Amino acid sequence: MEKKNIDWSNLGFGYMETDYRYVSNFKNGAWDEGALITDANITMSECACVLQYAQTIFEGLKAYTTEDGHIVCFRPDLNASRLADSAKRLEMPVFPEDKFVDAVKQVVKANASYVPPFGSGATLYLRPYMFGSNAVIGVKPATEYQFRVFATPVGPYFKGGAKPITIRVSDFDRAAPNGTGHIKAGLNYAMSLHAIVSAHEEGYDENMYLDPQTRTKVEETGGANFLFVTKDGKVVTPKSNSILPSITRRSLVYVAKEYLGLEVEEREVYLDELKDFAECGLCGTAAVISPVGKVVDHGKEICFPSGMEEMGPITKKLYETLTGIQMGKIEAPEGWIVTIE
Ligand SMILES: *Cc1c(COP(=O)(O)O)cnc(C)c1O
């Protein structure tokens, strides 16, 4: 298959229209067959529930080329089950999990000419999502839905090495204690836009959100979970029911325990213990781990001993092991790598 003429190593993280996307519609209580289509645009009612009341959820995962030339994706079954959890919380119908994985495979296969070659650092980003599509004006869930998956090639997250970032403790909250922080809903992002724009204006890369009830515990950033490393080499990750369960973080916890023999604690992490950690990283599909060098809490700087030049040693080991598993250089646990072709 011939690849598109794209400068893979200079791609950014932006949308580029590709040839095919998958669409399935839910109507009269059932999902239709679903199909690949070429039209990238959507036409719907001006009063669609998604437009008026933000009834929309999404997922994000990547397809990429391994060293031996296969196109694969990473744990898509976990994206399928997380989308199902998100759907239930927003009173949307569940898209069958096996059909989700099949839809992802179909989209990757149909857009294989857009899958970046091995070694470019670029990947094919996949965006499955679902929204309420019929007209709703009195507040209630839609009765018609559309599930779609599109693909867009994206560049390497770190161009020229992973430089540690600086984040601030945010005065804005991301998720209410019994709200929707644990699901991947567009609404969680809408309310984070002001916080991220103001963080950037003040020179910070990201926001660290605290638990809104006590403002003493670390939750996550707008789109990534935290991993910390203690001075004696233990991996610590915050536990809270308003954190989005990152697939990358869950995979890194497994890698830490089973591949690297590290002790892992999933527990509440207090803001005032940050100064005791040796390393800090943000985990998510986009970067796998971005190292954090500094946290600023209202003028008070907390600098991790790993510094502002490179990833801490344990963060780096975690990063290299997981990316090695993803790229087919290190044997993967059963079911983690799904080969598409
Ligand atoms: C998607 C997301 C993450 C990262 O999850 P992955 O499955 O690792 O990509 C973390 N936090 C939030 C709020 C997210 O929406």
Q: Cα of 28 to ligand 1 centre, how many Å?
A: 32
Q: Cα of 234 to ligand 1 centre, how many Å?
A: 23
Q: Cα of 42 to ligand 1 centre, how many Å?
A: 26
Query: 38 pLDDT band (50/70/90 cuts)?
Result: very high
Kindly state whether residues 177 and 286 are assigned to the same domain: yes
Q: Is the pLDDT of residue 159 over 80?
A: no
Domain ends where: 119, 154, 189?
Answer: 154
Q: Is the pLDDT of residue 68 over 70?
A: yes
Query: 29 pLDDT band (50/70/90 cuts)?
Result: very high
Q: Cα of 137 to ligand 1 centre, how many Å?
A: 31
The reply to whether ligand 1 has any atom less than 6 angstroms from the CB of 223 is yes
pLDDT score at 144: 98
Query: 14 pLDDT band (50/70/90 cuts)?
Result: very high
Kindly state whether residues 247 and 289 are assigned to the same domain: yes
Atom of ligand 1 nearest to the CA of 78: 7
pLDDT score at 160: 65
Q: Ligand 1 atom 5: the closest Cα is on which residue?
A: 246
Q: Is the pLDDT of residue 1 over 90?
A: no
Rounded mean pLDDT, 309-319: 96
| Distances 113 to 99, 116, 260 between C-alpha atoms, Å | 23, 8, 36
Rounded mean pLDDT, 103-114: 98
The reply to whether 174 falls in a domain is yes
Kindly state whether residues 78 and 106 are assigned to the same domain: yes
pLDDT score at 157: 78
Of 184, 217, 231, 234, which one is the catalytic site residue? 184
Query: 94 pLDDT band (50/70/90 cuts)?
Result: very high
pLDDT score at 158: 73
Kindly state whether residues 116 and 179 are assigned to the same domain: no
Kindly state whether residues 295 and 147 are assigned to the same domain: no
User: What is the average pLDDT score of the chain?
Assistant: 96
Q: Is the pLDDT of residue 222 over 70?
A: yes
Count of domains observed in the chain = 2
pLDDT score at 9: 85
The reply to whether ligand 1 has any atom less than 6 angstroms from the CB of 224 is yes
Kindly state whether residues 130 and 212 are assigned to the same domain: no
Q: Ligand 1 atom 1: the closest Cα is on which residue?
A: 223
Kindly state whether residues 91 and 186 are assigned to the same domain: no
Q: Ligand 1 atom 14: the closest Cα is on which residue?
A: 223
The reply to whether 333 falls in a domain is no
Kindly state whether residues 219 and 310 are assigned to the same domain: yes
The reply to whether 268 falls in a domain is yes
Kindly state whether residues 149 and 223 are assigned to the same domain: no
Task: Please state, for a pLDDT cut of 70, what percent of the chain lies above it.
Answer: 99
Q: Is the pLDDT of residue 88 over 70?
A: yes
Active site residue 184: yes
Q: Is the pLDDT of residue 201 over 90?
A: yes
CATH of the domain at 190: 3.20.10.10
The reply to whether ligand 1 has any atom less than 6 angstroms from the CB of 290 is no
The reply to whether 29 falls in a domain is yes
pLDDT score at 156: 80
pLDDT score at 285: 95
**For the segment 165-196, what is each residue's pLDDT rounded down to a tens digit?**
999 999 999 999 999 999 999 999 999 999 99
Kindly state whether residues 116 and 170 are assigned to the same domain: no
The reply to whether 160 falls in a domain is no
The reply to whether 3 falls in a domain is no
Domain ends where: 121, 154, 187?
Answer: 154
The reply to whether 336 falls in a domain is no
Better-scored residue on pLDDT, 161 or 299:
299
The reply to whether 137 falls in a domain is yes
Kindly state whether residues 122 and 57 are assigned to the same domain: yes
Range of the domain at 74: 8-154
Kindly state whether residues 19 and 77 are assigned to the same domain: yes
Q: Is the pLDDT of residue 138 over 70?
A: yes
